[in-house]
């Protein structure tokens, strides 16, 4: 009995620490818990070392300190405590308390996984799937996920669903993906809930089922997932899988937008700008567009530029408008390219070179306004040498797209051209169409 006395004392100190930490039988007191754990940990008690690491990791009774957390998890891990091994691996993987070290993370996850730690098994699967600290190996990842999933770990079930959805390590099997997502989702795994919502709302890999999509998006949205909140807002806005409900759409767009979701911010801007299902307010629209535009949303950048150019919700400024239109144009937005060209052309004096460059970009995407604008520049010799043949070509292409002004322009230049020039312009237009408008200006 005497030989076991030190071990019993350490166990008693650790248990006393647990009581203080959890407020069991005594008022909760993290400082007292820390003191008990510290005494037992310094005398080599693995469980106390792990509990002390938890206190440092979460800043309970002491300033948060991941260096100390690494130290004490490491002490417990070397004594074989699986929970400490798994948590130590997480610190190495996340670069908490020191540099990211995937090799060490892999080592300690492996040690904990061998003892049946489901969190470690799942995270080991993530490392094999992503090739972190080891060559990417979907077969190994699958085995880790399967072990964790069989133990009921929702994150492992989700990971297994992803593997089946993408055909990683197994033949692609949407039905199995749905099965594992559902098991994880029913345990509250938010990403699994979102993925089920997406599967049912898109009809991807299975029948379209908007009612079930709303249900799963709703659960993920209620748990705070911004993407699910946005998608749920869309479904309420369109009346998909549920009755159309603008108030619910607004509610979920706001929830997502307040978490920084750019698409939701854009949709709110659109609602306020157009007065769609809400009282029109251009200043509020401008604010939402600004938030989305700052995140690089091209549609928001374009709409923001147009509103500023027109003085909607703010003082008109062609200069500021052009800055936002340029950002959208740089992302390939053809309408932004055309409108930017129009603002350059309307400048005093006109910026014909910039206008020409913008119109060319829009025209090359088949934008009829851009094609017509190019036609007029060539017809009038504005910023380029007057060229009726090239003007006719662009007018003709715009007219094919249903642009009335382009058809009128074509009729105008036709009167200035010889039959041979007209035939040449028509041949150029056909060749330009065949080459998808590339390299024809």
- The secondary structure of residue 134, as a DSSP letter, is S
- Check residue 24 and report its DSSP letter: S
**Helix (H) and strand (E) counts for the chain?**
24, 0
CA torsion angle for 294, 296, 300, 301 (degrees, to 10)? 80
**Cβ 162 vs Cβ 168: under 8 Å:** yes
| Tally of CA atoms within 13 A in the half-sphere of 418 that contains its CB | 3
| Helix extents (H) in 187-317 | 190-202, 210-222, 226-238, 246-257, 262-274, 282-294, 298-310
Q: Is 25 exposed, middle or buried, given 0-12, 13-18 or 19+ CB atoms closer than 10 A?
A: exposed
Could you give phi then psi for residue 44, rounded to 5 degrees? Answer: 95, 10
What does the angle CA 8 – CA 9 – CA 10 come to, to the nearest 5 degrees?
90
Q: Can you give the pLDDT at residue 206? A: 85
Residues 116, 138: Cα–Cα separation, whole Å: 20
Tokens of 39: 């005494």
Q: Computed over its alpha carbons, how large is the radius of gyration of the chain?
A: 32
CA distance 259 to 238: 22
Is residue 204 packed enough to be buried (19+ CB in 10 Å), middle (13-18) or exposed (0-12)?
exposed
Pick from 108, 107, 67: which is nearest to 85 by CA? 108
Per-residue pLDDT of the chain (441 residues; tens, 9 = 90+): 445 556 778 889 999 989 999 999 999 999 999 999 999 999 999 999 999 999 999 999 999 999 999 999 999 999 999 999 999 999 999 999 999 999 999 999 999 999 999 999 999 999 999 999 999 999 999 999 999 999 999 999 999 999 999 999 999 999 999 999 999 999 999 999 999 999 999 998 889 999 999 999 999 999 999 999 999 999 999 999 999 999 999 999 999 999 999 999 999 999 999 998 899 999 999 999 999 999 999 999 999 999 999 999 999 999 999 999 999 999 999 999 999 999 999 999 999 999 999 999 999 999 999 999 999 999 999 999 999 999 999 999 999 988 999 999 999 999 999 999 999 999 999 999 888 887 666
Rounded (to 5) percent helix, strand, coil in the chain: 70, 0, 30
In the three-class reduction of DSSP (H, G, I as helix; E, B as strand; rest coil), residue 351 is classed as: coil
Answer whether 153's CB lies under 8 Å from 122's CB: yes
Give the C-alpha distances (Å, rounded to integers) separating 21 from 50, 60, 235: 14, 9, 45
71 closest CA partner among 82, 60, 55:
55
Cut 0.75: pTM above it: yes
Token pair, residue 330, equals 């740089």
DSSP string, 371-433: HHHHHHHHHHTSSS---HHHHHHHHHHHHHTT-HHHHHHHHHHHTTS-HHHHHHHHHHHHHHH
- φ, ψ of residue 411 to 5 degrees: the values are -65, -35
Asked if 49 contacts 39 with a C-beta cutoff of 8 angstroms, the reply is no
């Amino acid at each position: 009995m005497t030989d076991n006395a030190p071990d019993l004392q350490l166990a008693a100190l650790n248990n006393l620490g647990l009581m203080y930490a959890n407020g069991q039988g005594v008022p909760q007191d993290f400082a007292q818990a820390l003191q008990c754990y510290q005494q037992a940990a310094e005398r080599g008690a693995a469980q106390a070392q792990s509990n002390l690491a938890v206190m440092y990791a979460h800043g309970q009774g002491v300033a948060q300190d991941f260096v100390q957390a690494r130290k004490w998890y490491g002490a417990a891990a070397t004594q074989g405590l699986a929970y400490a091994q798994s948590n130590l691996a997480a610190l190495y993987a996340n670069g908490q308390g020191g540099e990211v070290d995937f090799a060490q993370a892999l080592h300690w996850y492996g040690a904990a996984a061998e003892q049946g730690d489901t969190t470690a098994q799942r995270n080991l699967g993530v490392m094999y799937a992503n090739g972190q600290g080891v060559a990417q190996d979907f077969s190994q990842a699958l085995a880790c996920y399967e072990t964790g999933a069989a133990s009921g770990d929702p994150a492992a079930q989700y990971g297994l669903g992803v593997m089946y959805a993408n055909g990683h390590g197994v033949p692609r099997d949407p039905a199995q993906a749905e099965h594992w997502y559902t098991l994880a989702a029913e345990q509250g795994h938010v990403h699994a809930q979102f993925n089920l919502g997406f599967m049912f709302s898109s009809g991807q890999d299975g029948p379209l089922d908007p009612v079930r999509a709303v249900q799963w998006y709703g659960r993920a949205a209620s748990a705070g997932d911004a993407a699910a909140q946005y998608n749920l807002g869309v479904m309420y806005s369109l009346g998909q899988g549920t009755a159309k409900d603008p108030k619910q759409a607004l509610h979920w767009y706001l929830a997502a937008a307040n978490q920084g979701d750019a698409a939701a911010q854009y949709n709110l801007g659109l609602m306020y700008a157009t007065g769609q299902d809400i009282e029109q307010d251009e200043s509020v629209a401008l604010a939402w567009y600004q938030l989305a535009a700052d995140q690089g949303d091209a549609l928001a950048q374009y709409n923001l530029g147009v509103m500023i150019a027109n003085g909607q919700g703010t003082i008109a400024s062609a200069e500021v408008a052009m800055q936002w239109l340029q950002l959208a144009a740089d992302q390939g937005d053809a309408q932004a390219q055309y409108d930017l060209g129009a603002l350059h052309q309307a400048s005093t004096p006109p910026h014909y070179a910039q206008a020409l460059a913008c119109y060319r970009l829009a025209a090359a995407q088949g934008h009829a306004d851009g094609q017509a604008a190019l036609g007029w520049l060539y017809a009038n010799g504005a910023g380029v040498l007057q060229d009726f043949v090239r003007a006719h070509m662009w007018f003709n292409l715009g007219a094919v797209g249903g642009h009335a002004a382009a058809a009128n322009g074509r009729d105008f230049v036709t009167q200035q051209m010889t039959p041979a020039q007209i035939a040449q312009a028509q041949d150029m237009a056909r060749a330009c169409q065949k080459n998808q408008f590339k390299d024809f200006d």
